[in-house]
Amino acid sequence: MHSSYNLCNHCSASRNGGNTMVAKAPDYQETMGSDMVAFYDVSMMNEHYNCKALCQPVDSAKCQNGGFPNPNNCMVCVCPSGYGGILCNERV
């Protein structure tokens, strides 16, 4: 299972003042410890716990731009950053 870096829970417990956790990809170093959960982390967790299976394709919203039906209301989509609206078809 892969996760984006911001879901990592880390604390600074360094004895020498150095980093306690270092991203393999340097571009992601500053994203660790973010207060926001990334869309792809939400999607991965919904997949892992079979929440997406609660919405049958026939009875669910036809999400666009990588969104997926919200397991709490299958007629509304959970949208990735930059998209909104019921079907993730609106740029925000």
- All domains of the chain in start order, with CATH: 1-36 (no CATH), 37-92 (2.10.25.10)
pTM for the full model? Answer: 0.68
The pLDDT score that the predictor gives to residue 22 is 83
Q: pLDDT tens for residues 52-86?
A: 999 999 999 999 999 999 999 999 999 999 999 99
What pLDDT, on a 0 to 100 scale, did the predictor assign at position 13? 62
pLDDT of the residue at 66 = 97
Percentage of the residues of the chain whose pLDDT score is greater than 90: 58
Residues 6+ away with beta carbon under 8 Å from 51? 45, 71
User: E-assigned strands of the chain?
Assistant: 68-70, 73-78, 83-84, 90-91
